[in-house]
Amino acid sequence: MACWPAWRRHTPSAAGPPSAAPSSSGKTWTSTSTKNTHPTGFQEYPYMNEPQNRRVAVIGLGAMGGAMAATLHKAGWDVTGFDPSDAAREAAEKTGISIADTLAAVAGTPYAVLSLPAASIVESTVPQLLAAPGTVAIIDTTTSEPATSKRMAELAEIHGAAFIDAPVSGGRDGAATGSLSAFVGATDAALEAAGPVLLALTGGNFSHIGGPGSGNVVKLLNNVLAAANLASVGEALGVAKAYGIDPATAAASISGASGGSKVSAAMYPNWILTGSHDSGFSMGLMARDASLAVDVAAQIGEKPALLAAVASQWQDALAVLGPRADFTEIARTVAPAITPAGAPQTGTPESTTAA
């Protein structure tokens, strides 16, 4: 039975060719590829030299990791996956992925992609991957913690390998199509080493933010801002409905104005007002990320009062809805009148009673 320290399985979870852009040190990656300016404003990098060895291990085969493994396989990589979950391994194997029974079996694989639920698992996994020689780069897509990424980058360097923190955004669809966006924390040398895999997963849609750990910081800030927006848009649409205004009409109108966002333009119309709540990202993970963002701020002496209030609101919703609820179900706690399911039941969290 494959295992590592117990962790809860979760279901969290197109850019064209990249062009020349400055790295975090001010250097420029050069490319002869067609120029593409991505609408998100992410820096873009050229396709780096093709690796001589296209073997990659994907550690964590949940919704995101499994989809990334399948994407790499379709792109011509020789992919081996590991996950302690029998169901996750079986699902990945059906997509053509080779399966390892232990982490030791993939130690020393030239490239490794991590898609794990917590920084503590990253910290216990990386040393095992580096236990055998041969690792070129480890790409950590986990929404992890900056201190962990700094330590893992230092450890990898000692072993002659690269480690980059590259938490991703784009959900299952982005993972399945190689069109994720990523927030990268790494040295220039580590980014270059990890580049071939990163480009296969993102199509060049990533931002090199700074040194090790910086990708984690900005990803956490992104998530807590999304958490705040989900709550505030819900409250606003609740007010609109109270005035007899169709929430979908209000959301569409707001989305074309200064108060608009991806939350009002896509998340509410697609996942909340329809009642589908099937984004694939869990309440437990978003509540965790919001709290982590506030913790990371506190570690450097910052006290973001509004973000702290948002994190607290998500913890309250987590207590009612349970960790396995879809994160879009926050609307049921802030504006139940606009959701088909209405307000959650009080008492035992709904997502645990349904199990």
Q: How far apart are CA 167 and CA 119, in angstroms?
A: 12
Question: Both tokens of residue 129?
Answer: 């991957």
Residues belonging to the chain: 355
Where are the alpha helices (H) located in the chain, listed in sequence order?
Answer: 63-74, 86-94, 119-129, 146-158, 171-177, 188-202, 214-242, 247-255, 262, 283-299, 305-321, 331-334, 350-353
Active site residues: 219
Amino acid at 121: I
Backbone dihedral region of 177: left (phi > 0), alpha (psi from -120 to 50 degrees) or beta? alpha
Q: How far apart are CA 3 and CA 84, in angstroms?
A: 5
Backbone angles phi, psi at 167, to 5 degrees: -60, 145
C-alpha atoms less than 13 angstroms from C-alpha of 234 in its C-beta half-sphere:
26
Tell me which residue of 121, 129, 114 sits closest to 167, measured CA to CA.
114
